[in-house]
Every structure is written in C-alpha cells, then in structure tokens.
Chains A and B, each alone.
Chain A
Amino acid sequence: MIESLVPFAAVMAPLAAIPLIAASSRWPNIRELWTLLAAFAAFFLVISLIPSVDADTLVGSGRFFIVEGVPLELKVDQTGLFFGLIASTLWLVTCFYSIGYVREHREKHQTRYFAAFAACIGSTLGIAFSANLVTFLVFYEMLSLATYPLVIHSESPKAIRSGRKYLTYALTAGIALIAAVLWTGNAAGTYEFTAGGILEPGMLSPSAMRLLFLLFIVAVGVKAGLMPLHGWLPAAMVAPTPVSALLHAVAVVKSGVFGVIRVVGFVFGPETMAAYGLDTMLIVVSGTTILLASCIALRQDNLKARLAYSTVGHLSYIVLGIALLSKSGFAGGMLHMVNHATMKITLFFCAGAIMVHLHKDRVSQLDGIGRAMPWTMGAFAIGSLGLAGVPPVNGFLSKWLLCEGSLEAGLNLPMVILLTSGLLNAAYFFPIVYRAFFRAPAEGVAEKGEAPPMLVVPICIVAGFSLLLFFWPDLFLGLARDVASAVFGGGQA
C-alpha cells in the first residue's frame, strides 16, 4: 500500500470550498471560482491516482481513529477509484452547466445551492474512498444531510413535502445502516472492506444472516432506488435540474449502488451470498424493480419524472448484475454505473436546457423543438439510444456484459428481463425524439434558437463521453474486470 495524502485531499477539496463559497456570497463570480477550483482540484487529484492503483496496490491516507478501535480511513482501491472517477469527472462538467443554469433561471439562494453541492460531492468521494464500514457510514450520513437543502431548494410547499419524504427515507436508511454496521462488526470482528467478504458462512445463524442482509439492503437500497424504497426519488425531482442530473442520476443514487457493491462483494462475499440464498432475494427485488419502473416511466408526461423512473430501472440493472454473482455480471454492473451516469446526465442536462430556455417540462409540449435546439435534442437522441442498449453508445456494452453474466450464472430470466426492459426503454424514449424532430413545432418555438453555450457545451461533452466510452471502454472495463476477479478470486473474467 502506498501512503499518500492524495485521497484525503480529493475528499477535502470540495469540503474546503464550502466556507469559501459561503463567505463570498456577495460576489457571484468569485463564489463560482471557488466551486470551479475545487472541482478541478478534485478531478486532477483523482486522475493522478489512476497510474498508482492496480490490482495489488492501494493508495491510503493514513488512519485517524474516529471511534475507539475503528479508524476513519481513506483507501483507494480499484472499486473506489472507479466510482471516484465518475463522480469527480461529471462534477466538473456539471459545475459549468450549473453556473449557466442557475444564472439563466435566476434561482434564489445560489450560495446555499453551491455550498450544498460541494458538500454532496465531498461526501460522495468520501464514500468512494472509504476503507471500512464506519467511514462509509459517516460519509453516507453526511451525504443524506447535505442533499436535503438541494431537495427543498425552491422552498415551495411541494418542495418542502418532498424534503420531508426524502429525510424520512434517508434517516430510516441511516439507522438501518448503523444497526447493520454494528452487527457486522460484532459478528466478523472487523469493519474493513475486503474483496471476497468478511462474513464467513456460519458466523451467524441463517435467519440472522438474512436479517442482517435485509438491513444492509434497506440501508443502501433507499439511495439505490430499489422498489419499494424508491419513493423519494421521483419526489426529489422538484430540485433544480443540475441537482437531478448529478445527484439523482450519478452521485447520490450511485452511492447507494456502490453500497450494494461493497456489501455484496466486500462484506458478505459471493460464497456467503450463495450459501444463504441472498443472491436470489436481490435478483428478485432488482428484476421486479426494472420491469415495474420501466412500465411506470411509460406513463409519465412530465419529462423529469419519466427520467426519474428510468433511473430507478437502470439502477436496478447494476444491482441485478451484482446479484448474479458471476464475473461478467459483476463487471457489467459496474460498467453500467459509469455508462448510465454519462447517458442519464445527458438526458437531464437536456431536460434542464429545455426548461430554462423554452420553459417546457412536459413530453407532450416537445413537438418540433429539435428544429430549435438541434444540438440539445441530438444529444438527447444519443442518450436515449444508449439507454435502450443500441450501439454505438456505451449502454450497449454494459448490457451485453450483463446478459453474458446472466448466462454465466446459468439463469435465463434475468436476461429476458434486461432485453424486455430495453424494449420498454425504447418505448418511452424514442417517442420524445420523434416528437422533437418530426412533428411540426408549436408557434414561436423555432425562432427561439439553441440554448446558451454555457448549457449546450456541457451537454455535448457528456453526450460525447457516451460515444467515447463505446469505442474506448478500456479504462473502466479494465477496472471493473479487475474488481470482479478480486471479488470472485481466480484469473481474468
């Protein structure tokens, strides 16, 4: 293991920006400078870790005893690096988009917005780099708290109701996590994430083991939007669109999914999972979620709500892949983390651009807007294709791996679910693209032109990511395969 302060610095960069942002609330340009500086710092710090982290080498930032006997420890392994890369890269892009969005939209409380945003990203990187369950718990709770001001941002009665709903889910998840972590520590004698798991079969009675797993799944499943714990996510769409884009499609929800990876691969381990039938339980839950969420998404007229239900479905792709307990499934699930992130953030960015520029938020209002905003809607088309699993967009790759994983595990049903869901995805996304490009525009839309560059450029960048990752998936694919090998033991997947 390499001792280095880089992981610590990467987590602290966004957190350190919070007081600076708060202090310069009167000078918006300086305030945004802090956000950008922090985002660049976090980005380059995480990038600089790529060469030093491989299957056998970790980078850690020393230990600090947060609770007696349990260190607060940041350690970057390949899993953490994978998630850290996604979060820090997309934060950087979102920063530019955010600045354009809130200024165009004349949002109130911009200082609170940027401060809370930085807190969220700091916590997310903390979750990614946590070396043990206690550190994970601390950052997970911080993330729950930091997201609240963003959900209630508009301070409308609806936002406040959503805020309450969000808190109820998040705090319940938090206490489930505390109980689960304590129980694990007591049973296994350690909190340290270890590839292959720390809970051996026989450490607890079968029913206790299942209950413990259930606690964990409640704890991380809330953020991962597993049904029936997904209720807060569509409600949280009242938040400003960049929040929905980065947090409710990438950082917060992926922290939940990342939690599933840690729990399945690094706490329970494949052996224990299989021994107590926990994988079946998770497959059933995530499979159901995929189908139900896709069906509900079909019926949403509000664009952001449709995206939210689509997110719920796609998060369960990842969970399903992990639950398959096969190397390809695990790698495919992880790969879908990054792929879904780039595609869904594209769609949310587009939705936001349409909202601030044309003031439209319903699917039925989108007739012909492709003529006014060709770049935006072009990016939207790329994202839609990817989510339906059509090449040449990166979504195809992860879906391929997931199906392979399903067969590898000797199960056909998950593959059928995935393919059906692809059709459903096409059914709820393609009509939007069709409307935008092939229907006659409503009056006055065509003259409005494209959204301002501060919004369009980030949109094109994230859409570009989605294409690039189809042709050059090596970095993420390599990491995902290495993690899968570490968890399942043995050679290359």
Chain B
Amino acid sequence: MRPDLLNHAPILIILLFLGGAMVAVLAGLLQRRLAQPWAVGITGSATLLSLFGLARVLQEGALRYQLGGWRAPIGIELIYDPLSAFLVVVICAVSLLVLIHGRRIVPEEIPGREVPFFAVALMLIGGLCGIVLTGDLFNLYVFIEIVSLSSYALLGIGTKRSPLSAFRYLVMGTTAGSFYLLGLALIFMRTGTLNMTDLAEILPFVSGQVPVLVGLAFILVGLSLKAAIFPLHGWLPDAYTDGCSTATALIAPLGTKTALYAILRFVFFVLAPAYGAGAAPIGTIVAYAGAAAIVWGSFMAMSQKELKRMLAYSSVAQVGYIALGIGLGSRYGLIGAVLHILNHACMKACLFLVTGNLRRNVGHSYLPNLDASVRREMPWSMAAFCVAAISMIGLPPTAGFFSKWYLALGTVEAGQWPLLVALLVSTLLNGVYFFRIFEQVYLKPAREGASGREARGEAPLSMLVPTLIFAVLLLILGIGNVYIVTTFLEPIWAGVL
C-alpha cells in the first residue's frame, strides 16, 4: 500500500464507514441482497487498512493527524498511537466477523429491513472507530452521539418489545450525552480548549476551580452512563435482550467498551497530569463502582432464564472489571483494563453469536428448555460456547484468566483487598451460571419429540466459522497476552504514568 495513503489512515477508516453507510442505502435500493456483502466489503477493507496502519505506527511511531490541515488546538486532531491503532483493528475485525455471521440471520430475524440495518451498522462501526481515534473532546461527543443514535436504531429493530427497550436506552443515552456536553461547556469556559493534549497542559492551572470540577463530574457521569457502569446500567439488560441477534452481537462487545475507552483516555491522558494517575478519590469511586457492578451483575445473571438476558447482566459485571482497572489508576490496572476490553469483545461476541445460532436452529435461547439434543445437533457451536464461557469464568489458559490476573495484581499492589475479593468471588459466581448451562446442554437427557421441532443440525458455515474464529482467538489472546502488552501498551507508558 502506498505510504502516503497510510498517512491518512485514521481519517480514511472513519470516512470509509460513514461513506459506506450512505452508499449502502443506495445499493440497497437497487438490490436488497447486496446490503450485507457491501457492509462486509467495507468493513473488510477497513480492517485491512487498519492493519497496515497499525504496522506503520509500530514502525514509525505515533501519528497525530491534523484534520483538514488545521493545526490543533484550533483544528480537530486524531491520535493514531499503538493503543488506538490496535483498538481500531479490534473493532474492525470483530465487526467484520459479526457482519459475516449476519448474512443468514438478519434476513430471517428482521425480514425486509436488511438495508437500513446494515447501513446503520456501518455508521455504528465508523462511530466506534472515531471514539477511539479522536484527540478532541467535542469531536468525541459527536462520535459518541453517532454511536448512540445508530445503537438506538439497531436495537429498535427486533422483537415487539425492542422499540420500548430502545426508547428507554435513548432516554438514558440522551441524558448522558447532555451531561457530557454540559460538562464540556463548563471546562471550555475556563480553559478555552477542547483538544485533549492541550487541555492536559492547561488543566493543572485551573484544577481547583469549582466550574472545572463540576464540569469534570458531569463528563464522568455522562460517560459512565454510556458505559453502563453500575449503578448507571439500568438501560442495558432490556436493550440487549430485545434486539436482533446481530445487533446485540455488534453492540454488546464494542459499544460500552468504547465508552470505557473514552473514560480511560480521559482519566489517564487528560486528568492524570493535573490530578495524579487515577485522580485519587475519583479513581477509588470508579473502582468500587466497578466492584459493585461485578458482584451485582453476576448475581443478576445467575437468576436469569433467558440466555441473552443472562449475557447482558454478565456484561454489566464485565464492564465492572474494566472500570475497576481504570479506577486503580496503576500500570497493572491499565493493562488489565485494556486487555479486558479486548478479551471481553471476543468472549461476548462469541457468546452472542452462539446465541444467534441457537435462536436460528433451535428456535429459542430459553435456558430451562435447552438439553442434550442441542449439543448433539450443534457440537461445534457448543464447543465454542464452552471456550468462551471458560474464558468468562477466567480459567487458564483462556484469555479471560490473564486480564483478571493483571487486575488482581493491580488490587494487591494497591492493597485494595475488598476489590480483590470482588474479583475472585466473581470467578465463583460466573462458574455457577456457566456450569449450569454446561450441565443443561451436556448432561440433561433430551426429551424425545417433546420440543415439537425438527432438527436443523449445525449452523451454516457463514455463521459457524466466525463463531469458531472467536473461540480460537480466545486461546491465542490468552497465550499471547504478553506480546499485546509489550507491543501496544508499553509504548504509551511514557506519556501516561
């Protein structure tokens, strides 16, 4: 690829998605079946581009991209460093697999609405990349709103109840957006800048002023709502349960995680110079909110009968892990948080894809009705489910163990024993609700003919292959976690801690 093209990689990736979304609508008018291949094509090219971009960043160092040639802090700046480049690759690759998986299931679950669905999905992915890449706080707001609006639309297309759930999400999401904007206005009033780097330099001079503190509080609460950090998670379970399978598989692994990433950037890159890493009291609050989320989410997940809803509550818990890592504010906390963003994206995507396979071929994902016939018909899907579930529980050698390890190391280092207990207890709780499913699927004898459905066998290849890739990735990510840490996280330490 031409090197000068790669100089523009960050903006090209975003534009590819946003432009692709517009064209998808036109292409869809022509031929409805074209929508999915188009979306896959766009995401595939973006994945390639992001991979080349990542290689270049690793070779030549971080790139600060001035949008339209306007210098920061006047113009908008995109930050393309190893961490953000890496996360863009993750976002693109995960979405690519989920979109491939959607080829069969989207037309079946929401017939006739494929075109808007895939167009909006592209918008969403573009927005997610934007959140990760941007170095400007107002620009961040714009991308967050793009993501939120497309999420409302995607989750609103689903079962009969989904518009209601999506509306609740919309109310909460808009409130969050307003909080963020309000906070930003207060900060801008005092500092006159929206650029993250610039703000980090100015903030130490005004750190004690009331409007600044109030602004920061608004921003953090807004972002926490978006990220569904306990106790601001109320909207999440309903929204995830009622959406169509592909929508949930796209939003659950990536949506809240990018909001968390925004918090991470904000806390470590903007607040750290003025308030110290983790911004002491704020950090502690965030960490303990995370611990509460872990315990609460796990308990709620245990009592769910619908697989999707159970996974949604487990997302609340998993968000807690990441929040805990950010709140710790130490090196190990940060490693754990970033790794868990990555690991959780793969685990949750895998689990939601299996749910999709179940809904398509078994007809439901209602836990009490699952039995050994499911395992006989779909051995590979269930094998993938097992790997992802073991990773969720956090047993070696799967990826989940290692992010948990770093987080636990961070809590020990900080002497925060209650947080360590929460982390470890969650292992047990996760074990309870996942082994319950293992027992159902592997050990509960099938009642012949009771289900009144014909056996449809294993999911088609277009659905099975992405599911299995995620499962294998979980093992690779687990064993290769040190490579990720040293290659993508190490280069940014200097600027952070």
Interface pair A138/B425, CB less than 8 Å apart: no
| B139 adjacent to chain A (CB < 8 Å) | no
| B222 adjacent to chain A (CB < 8 Å) | no
- Chain A residues near B393 (CB, 8 Å)? 171
Interface pair A167/B485, CB less than 8 Å apart: no
- Chain B residues near A167 (CB, 8 Å)? 431, 435
Q: Which of B114-122, B146-154, B191-199, B400-408 contacts A (4 or more CB under 8 A)?
A: B400-408
Interface pair A141/B395, CB less than 8 Å apart: yes
Interface pair A141/B396, CB less than 8 Å apart: yes
| B412 adjacent to chain A (CB < 8 Å) | yes
| A68 adjacent to chain B (CB < 8 Å) | yes
| B428 adjacent to chain A (CB < 8 Å) | yes
Given A66-B482, A68-B482, A155-B443, do A174 and B397 touch, yes or no (CB 8 Å)?
no
| A407 adjacent to chain B (CB < 8 Å) | no
Contact with B along A150-192 (1 / 0, CB 8 A): 0010010000100110011001101100110011011000000
Expressed in whole angstroms, the minimum distance between the Cβ of B428 and any Cβ of chain A is: 5
- Chain A residues near B220 (CB, 8 Å)? none
| A65 adjacent to chain B (CB < 8 Å) | yes
| A67 adjacent to chain B (CB < 8 Å) | yes
Interface pair A172/B443, CB less than 8 Å apart: no
Q: What residue of chain B has the Cβ atom nearest to residue A139's Cβ?
A: B396
Contact of B408 among A65, A171, A182 (CB under 8 A): A182
Residues of A contacting B: mostly: helix
Contact of A175 among B390, B396, B425 (CB under 8 A): B425
Interface pair B396/A171, CB less than 8 Å apart: no
Contacts A68-B485, A174-B427 known; 8 new A-B pairs at CB < 8 A: A67-B406, A68-B406, A138-B397, A144-B395, A145-B395, A160-B439, A179-B424, A183-B412
Interface pair A67/B395, CB less than 8 Å apart: no
Contact of A160 among B395, B409, B443, B486 (CB under 8 A): B443
- Chain B residues near A168 (CB, 8 Å)? 428
Contact with B along A42-58 (1 / 0, CB 8 A): 00000000000000000
Expressed in whole angstroms, the minimum distance between the Cβ of A152 and any Cβ of chain B is: 6
Interface pair A175/B486, CB less than 8 Å apart: no
Q: What residue of chain A has the Cβ atom nearest to residue B478's Cβ?
A: A66
| A290 adjacent to chain B (CB < 8 Å) | no
Q: What residue of chain B has the Cβ atom nearest to residue A69's Cβ?
A: B482
- Chain A residues near B40 (CB, 8 Å)? none
Interface pair A67/B397, CB less than 8 Å apart: no
Q: What residue of chain B has the Cβ atom nearest to residue A176's Cβ?
A: B424
Contact of A172 among B390, B397, B413, B428 (CB under 8 A): B428
| A72 to B259 CA separation, bound complex (whole angstroms) | 34
| A137 adjacent to chain B (CB < 8 Å) | yes
| A90 to B481 CA separation, bound complex (whole angstroms) | 36
Given A68-B485, A142-B397, do A175 and B443 touch, yes or no (CB 8 Å)?
no
> In chain A, residues 87-119, which have Cβ atoms closer than 8 Å to a Cβ of chain B?
none
Would you list the 9 A-B pairs with minimal beta carbon distance, nearest first? A175-B424, A138-B396, A65-B482, A182-B412, A186-B412, A171-B431, A141-B395, A155-B443, A68-B485
Interface residues on B, range: 20 to 34
In this complex, the member of B397, B445, B479 whose beta carbon has the largest number of chain A beta carbons within 10 angstroms is B397
| B420 adjacent to chain A (CB < 8 Å) | yes
In this complex, the member of B335, B408, B412 whose beta carbon has the largest number of chain A beta carbons within 10 angstroms is B412
Pull 23 A–B residue pairs with CB atoms less than 8 Å apart, ordered by A: A66-B402, A67-B402, A67-B482, A68-B486, A137-B396, A138-B396, A138-B397, A145-B390, A155-B443, A155-B445, A160-B443, A163-B439, A171-B393, A171-B427, A174-B395, A175-B425, A175-B427, A175-B428, A178-B408, A179-B420, A182-B409, A182-B412, A185-B409
| A137 to B482 CA separation, bound complex (whole angstroms) | 17
B binding-site residues for A, Cβ under 8 Å:
335, 390, 393, 395-397, 401-402, 405-406, 408-409, 412-413, 420, 424-425, 427-428, 431, 435, 439, 443, 445, 479, 481-482, 485-486
- Chain A residues near B428 (CB, 8 Å)? 168, 171-172, 175
Interface residues on A, range: 20 to 34
| A174 to B427 CA separation, bound complex (whole angstroms) | 9
- Chain B residues near A67 (CB, 8 Å)? 402, 405-406, 481-482
| A182 to B420 CA separation, bound complex (whole angstroms) | 10
- Chain A residues near B412 (CB, 8 Å)? 182-183, 185-186
Contact of B413 among A68, A164, A178, A186 (CB under 8 A): A186
| A235 to B485 CA separation, bound complex (whole angstroms) | 43
Q: What residue of chain B has the Cβ atom nearest to residue A71's Cβ?
A: B482
> In chain A, residues 228-249, which have Cβ atoms closer than 8 Å to a Cβ of chain B?
none
- Chain A residues near B424 (CB, 8 Å)? 175, 178-179
- Chain A residues near B395 (CB, 8 Å)? 141-142, 144-145, 174
- Chain B residues near A138 (CB, 8 Å)? 396-397, 401
| A144 to B396 CA separation, bound complex (whole angstroms) | 11
Given A160-B443, A178-B408, do A68 and B435 touch, yes or no (CB 8 Å)?
no
Contact with B along A248-287 (1 / 0, CB 8 A): 0000000000000000000000000000000000000000
| A160 to B442 CA separation, bound complex (whole angstroms) | 11
- Chain B residues near A137 (CB, 8 Å)? 396
- Chain B residues near A155 (CB, 8 Å)? 443, 445
- Chain B residues near A142 (CB, 8 Å)? 395-397
| A176 to B165 CA separation, bound complex (whole angstroms) | 40
Expressed in whole angstroms, the minimum distance between the Cβ of B396 and any Cβ of chain A is: 4
| A171 to B390 CA separation, bound complex (whole angstroms) | 12
- Chain A residues near B396 (CB, 8 Å)? 137-138, 141-142
| A66 to B390 CA separation, bound complex (whole angstroms) | 18
Expressed in whole angstroms, the minimum distance between the Cβ of B170 and any Cβ of chain A is: 40
Q: What residue of chain A has the Cβ atom nearest to residue B390's Cβ?
A: A145
Q: What residue of chain A has the Cβ atom nearest to residue B332's Cβ?
A: A68
Expressed in whole angstroms, the minimum distance between the Cβ of A181 and any Cβ of chain B is: 9
| A49 to B479 CA separation, bound complex (whole angstroms) | 27
Expressed in whole angstroms, the minimum distance between the Cβ of B146 and any Cβ of chain A is: 35
| A175 to B431 CA separation, bound complex (whole angstroms) | 12
- Chain A residues near B420 (CB, 8 Å)? 179, 182
